[in-house]
Amino acid sequence: MSLAGKTIIMSGGSRGIGEAIAVRAARDGANVALLAKTTEPHPALPGTIHTAAAAIEAAGGHALPLVGDIRDDAFVLDAVARTAEAFGGIDIVVNNASAIDLSSTRDVTMKKYDLMNDINSRGSFLLAKSCIDHLAAADNPHVLTLSPPISLDPKWFKTATAYTIAKFGMSLVTLGLSEELRELGIAANSLWPRTAIDTAAVRNVVGAGLTTHSRTPAIMADAAYEILVRPSRECTGNFFIDDDVLEEAGVTDFSIYLNGGEESELALDFWVEPKGPHDPTLSLH
């Protein structure tokens, strides 16, 4: 299977992992609608909805940049309608938009707490909810949310409880929709990286020193692609890790995703356990 002619609606996607997923799909000739606010580049976060749209077109796809706020119900409903009208339907929802603040509970402001939950969990719920009728009419419909496996081990909450709550809220969207929409044949899955991924957003929050301990966004893009071409009725309710997906697809050389450094120097991402004794031990937590 391929994503040729499929229509993807994605929250965010102006840069980083979201853009990489969109461009990978565009190489098949997919249509991609991007819902984002980024009309002007941020000083520390290069890339806008327009540069991402240009990259999608250059890769062979068709882009529909829709400028607005994922927290705005009216904007999301209009964006869904415009996407379906432009491309004749919607096959795939990618919940990519996410706000991050790693402050402790004592230090995080309630404004930032609300921002993270409104964008991360509420935004994912709203976009998926708004697309259900279109997805039900598609022949291989998927909702893919970039969020981690849910674990109630207290250690995952120790560093940044507010952020963890917001990301696990996205994962609860996957858990709920996978059951609620199963009979409609709509798949709902989550995807998360095993290691740190080198994006401008991560460098802005964690620091540039993480660069050589990271993989490139291409590993998440390739893993997302492998999930989205699977039959939706046979692939739902999963919390996938990027390199597990690619191993199952037959990938054996992961050095192509290195961003400098060595495999042994990679940092594990949030909420991820090492696979074995020889895995990297450096952690973002």
pLDDT, tens digit, 9 for 90 and up, residues 22-80: 999 999 999 999 999 988 877 777 889 999 999 999 999 999 999 999 999 999 999 99
> Does some domain include residue 146?
yes
pLDDT of residue 164: 96
> Does some domain include residue 269?
no
Residues 239 and 190: beta-carbon distance below 8 Å: yes
pLDDT of residue 283: 56
pLDDT of residue 279: 59
Closest CA to 112 of 165, 186, 173: 165
> Does some domain include residue 13?
yes
Question: What Cα–Cα distance (Å) separates residue 90 from each residue in 10, 16, 71, 80?
Answer: 11, 23, 20, 8
Query: What average pLDDT is seen over the chain?
Result: 92
pLDDT of residue 83: 98
> Does some domain include residue 278?
no
pLDDT of residue 208: 59
> Does some domain include residue 250?
yes
Residue 231: pLDDT band by 50, 70, 90 thresholds? very high
Q: Which domain holds residue 241?
A: 7-201+216-260
Residue 88: pLDDT band by 50, 70, 90 thresholds? very high
> Does some domain include residue 33?
yes
Query: Total domain count for the chain?
Result: 1
> Does some domain include residue 84?
yes
Report the percent of the chain where pLDDT is more than 70: 92
Is a pLDDT exceeding 90 seen at residue 211?
no
Using one digit for the tens of pLDDT, what is the confidence trace for 134-191?
999 999 999 999 999 999 999 888 889 999 999 999 999 999 999 999 999 999 999 9
Closest CA to 120 of 143, 93, 146, 144: 146
Closest CA to 146 of 192, 195, 200: 192
CA distance 19 to 53: 9
Verify whether residue 163 is a known catalytic residue: yes
pLDDT of residue 207: 59
CB within 8 A of 68, min separation 6: which ones?
A: 35, 36, 37, 75, 76, 78, 79
Residue 270: pLDDT band by 50, 70, 90 thresholds? confident
Closest CA to 20 of 143, 197, 263, 195: 197
Find the catalytic residue in 113, 163, 225, 257: 163
CB atoms within 10 A of CB 226: 18
Residues 163 and 101: beta-carbon distance below 8 Å: yes
Helix extents (H) in the chain: 16-26, 49-58, 73-87, 110-117, 123-136, 161-180, 200-206, 218-228, 242-248
Report the percent of the chain where pLDDT is more than 90: 78
pLDDT of residue 212: 80
Among 46-60, 98-112, 201-215, 250-264, the least confident range: 201-215
Is a pLDDT exceeding 80 seen at residue 229?
yes
> Does some domain include residue 47?
yes
Is a pLDDT exceeding 90 seen at residue 262?
no
Q: How many CA atoms lie within 13 A of 28 on its CB side?
A: 21
Taking residues 125-131, report their average pLDDT. 98
Residue 275: pLDDT band by 50, 70, 90 thresholds? confident
CATH code of the domain covering residue 167: 3.40.50.720
Structure tokens belonging to residue 189: 């899955």
